Amino acid sequence: MAEQPPSVVRQRIVRHTARGNAMRRAAEFALCLLLLLWGPAGSTAAAQTPQTPTPACPEAPQYGNDAKAGHFAKVNGVSLYYEIHGQGSPLLLIHGNGGSINNLRCQIAYFSRSHRVVAADSRSHGRSELGEGRLTYEQIADDLSGLLDQLTINSADVWGHSDGGIVALLIAIRHPSREGREVDLLVTQSTTRRDCVVPVGH
């Protein structure tokens, strides 16, 4: 068989490559069409059998409306709702922005086994009043510090989640030793970082 000129070989390679690309594009188009046709049926089937997520700490009760443990305190001109659970060394739990006591149900249920847990709805959250003026982290920190004063808690650990961690830091900065109270241990938590434990001097 006579050897073909290089130009003829190149033309055949180009034709085969073009044919392969066309077949690949046709296959991709067919797959996309199949997905489009199947998609609604698949979505409907999934909607008919939804998966129920497992709730976090399902054994923990609901908090935020406890007739026995719940109280109101007038602090800095507003009514703050708070609950106390458990016995032991005091631990103040602070929820995040837009939350309430019930957002900390897992933490309350856990820490109340060994601590006297004080959990409060921050100003303008949950069952607590907004009051007048601007809502700031500093104001919330002063409110919760005042609440501890009313409860005659002179030494406490503080745990804050998300924005509550900012408030916890501000309590340590603004009220490190007010009327003999000292913040013994400060814990902040966020969804993107590990917990940060900051011991505050006595």
pTM over the 0.75 mark:
no
- The stretch 100-127 carries a mean pLDDT of 94
Instruction: Give me the pLDDT at residue 97, please.
Output: 92
Beta strands 155-161 and 89-94, pairing class: parallel
Instruction: Flag whether pLDDT at 155 surpasses 70.
Output: yes
Instruction: Give me the pLDDT at residue 200, please.
Output: 43
Instruction: Give me the pLDDT at residue 185, please.
Output: 58
What residues have CB less than 8 Å from 130, skipping those under 6 apart?
78, 123, 124
Instruction: Flag whether pLDDT at 201 surpasses 90.
Output: no
Query: Which whole-number Å values give the CA distances from 179 to 62, 89, 146, 148, 182, in the listed order?
Result: 34, 18, 11, 11, 9
Instruction: Give me the pLDDT at residue 56, please.
Output: 72
Instruction: Flag whether pLDDT at 95 surpasses 90.
Output: yes
Task: List, for residues 31-60, the tens digit of each pLDDT value.
Answer: 554 544 454 444 444 445 555 555 678 878
Task: List, for residues 176-186, the tens digit of each pLDDT value.
Answer: 875 445 555 56
Q: Which amino acid is at 43?
A: S
Query: Which whole-number Å values give the CA distances from 38 to 31, 34, 157, 173, in the listed order?
Result: 10, 6, 56, 59
Average per-residue pLDDT for the chain: 77
User: In which residue are the tokens 């409907």 written?
Assistant: 44
